[in-house]
Structure 1
Amino acid sequence: MPDSYFDHEQALDFDDYANQLLEQGLQESPAHLHGGICGLLVAAPLEPDHCLAALCQALQLDIRGELAGSSLQLILATTKAMADDQFEFHLFLPDDETEIEQRINALADWCRGFLAGYAMAVTDPGADGLGDEVAEILKDVSAIAEVGMDNEIDDEEAESSYFELTEFLRFATLNLAQDALQMDEAE
């Protein structure tokens, strides 16, 4: 996983984004916000400004100033990556140099954000019921949101499990995004 998110010209670094959150007095993880963005986008594709407003509402945050600009950049990059047929989409998580326990906690934060964003988007009165595949994915995301570091496994096994979970979430998100795109195009 690269230490910055998407295009190299306007890369968004995880740690820099975390610092922007702290400067604005927010204790949220960048992973949590990215999960929220992804949940919103796969449930109801939104324009970036609307997505930012919905994100603030879903996660009960007040995002403004430089942080709002960075968040819009993250929304645009995420939207672009989800639509890319080369599977360039990745979860916005700490880099591989970060302790495995912190990365596992960030992954759980990402899942909690995803669920909050998704729930926010489907509370729309016009939203359809969940299909079986969507319900199963949400159940899995909910289970992953509860993960923590198991002290009885070694770091190599933890790394392997972490990688498998991130790949599962990446492709589950892409599948949901493609379904949402197809539904949007059909309307």
Structure 2
Amino acid sequence: MPAWGDVAGAADRLALSSSPAELHGALCGWLAAGGADVAGWLAPVMADAALPAPQPGDALDRLRVVSAAQLGDPSFGFQLLLPDDERAPQRAEALFAWCRAFLGGFGLAVGDKPLSDEGQEALRDLANLGAAQIDEADDDSDEEALAEIEEYLRMAVLLLHADCAMGEQHRQSLH
């Protein structure tokens, strides 16, 4: 996975107003819903036909390649791109932004694909997290809760990917 700063730098060079978490969330939503894994992913994922394709090998191109590989990893190696910041409020804000962007990318690609009951529940949970607000209380339990939410999101995204983008046999092994 490219580093947060590398993705931020690539986004700045293209004058994108999205954070690395938002770019990764939108891309993962698009891919999880069965959207095309193409080098020119920015335009369809960000719903802006004027956006150029990332340069081969740059951070945004690597983000797509790694994200697609992680979503298809049979050992569930998918990871969210979040800042390295150790402070829970900053990571939580990035996580909530990731969820909002995931929903946007997912909505652009899902079409009329049916979701399992578990997939529908996961999508509702993502929407609830995307609407969440930061509580500025600094507590060690926030770190633990954030780690649990990240782990849940990883599994929810893989479940949605299995529902929409993978074959029936893969869905059965995940459920």
Distance change (3 Å), C-alpha of 1:98 and 1:185: closer
Alignment partners' CA distance in 2, 1:77 and 1:65 = 14
- Structure 1 gap segments, 5+ residues each: 6-11
The partner residue of 1:82 within 38, 59, 71 is 71
Q: Is residue 101 of structure 1 aligned with residue 89 of structure 2? A: yes
Verify the 8 A CA contact 1:48 1:76 in the aligned structure 2.
no
How far the C-alpha of 1:83 sits from its partner, in A, is: 1.3
> Which position in structure 2 is the counterpart of 1:174?
158
The partner residue of 2:119 within 89, 111, 134 is 134
Distance change (3 Å), C-alpha of 1:157 and 1:106: same
> Which position in structure 1 is the counterpart of 2:31?
41
How many pairs does the alignment contain? Answer: 170
Verify the 8 A CA contact 1:30 1:92 in the aligned structure 2.
yes
Verify the 8 A CA contact 2:37 2:64 in the aligned structure 1.
no
How far the C-alpha of 1:62 sits from its partner, in A, is: 2.5
How far the C-alpha of 1:157 sits from its partner, in A, is: 1.4
Verify the 8 A CA contact 1:20 1:67 in the aligned structure 2.
no
Alignment partners' CA distance in 2, 1:49 and 1:65 = 7
Alignment partners' CA distance in 2, 1:132 and 1:25 = 39
CA offsets, 1:10-42, max 9 Å, x none?
A: xx1101211222233222111111111111111
TM-score, normalization by structure 1: 0.78
TM-score, normalization by structure 2: 0.83
Distance change (3 Å), C-alpha of 1:67 and 1:93: farther
Identity %: 32
Alignment partners' CA distance in 1, 2:35 and 2:79 = 18
> Which position in structure 1 is the counterpart of 2:20?
30
Runs of 4+ residues deviating >6 angstroms: none
Verify the 8 A CA contact 2:41 2:53 in the aligned structure 1.
no
The two structures, once aligned, show a CA RMSD in angstroms of 2.6
Alignment partners' CA distance in 2, 1:66 and 1:82 = 22
How far the C-alpha of 1:115 sits from its partner, in A, is: 0.2
Q: Is residue 18 of structure 1 aligned with residue 8 of structure 2? A: yes
